[in-house]
Amino acid sequence: MQYYNDKTNRQGTYFAFVAVQLFLLLIVYGFVYTSLVAVKLAVARYHLTFMAYMPVVLALIVYPVVLYKTRKMFRAGKRLRATGWMLGWASVIIVALYAFLSQLIRV
């Protein structure tokens, strides 16, 4: 007979959380890569400086830090808050990159 084990449940939920983090990291980095290509085209077409890359590079650096902080939050027992922060920051970064590109490439 198998007994209820809280430690096994914690490990399983942590594994699922990390798997979702990796999936979201791939999604966000897909948008970051697309943004880098779009900025490269805008720099070539509109003769912009290297500063046009800064928001995209900032998003590239910030999201792994957010994932690290949410992983620490998840381990501290704040599971729902960590999931909300992880999903929220992913959507904020994607929308911010879209807004930046729409302002950068004006016709």
pLDDT digits (tens, 9 = 90+) for 25-67: 999 999 999 999 999 999 999 899 999 999 999 999 999 999 9
Residues 6+ apart with CB under 8 A from 95: none
Mean pLDDT, range 76-89, rounded to an integer: 96
DSSP 4: P
DSSP 50: G
Global confidence as pTM: 0.89
What does the pLDDT look like over 88-105, one tens digit per residue? 999 999 999 999 999 987
User: Residue 8 above 90 pLDDT?
Assistant: no
Mean pLDDT, range 73-101, rounded to an integer: 97
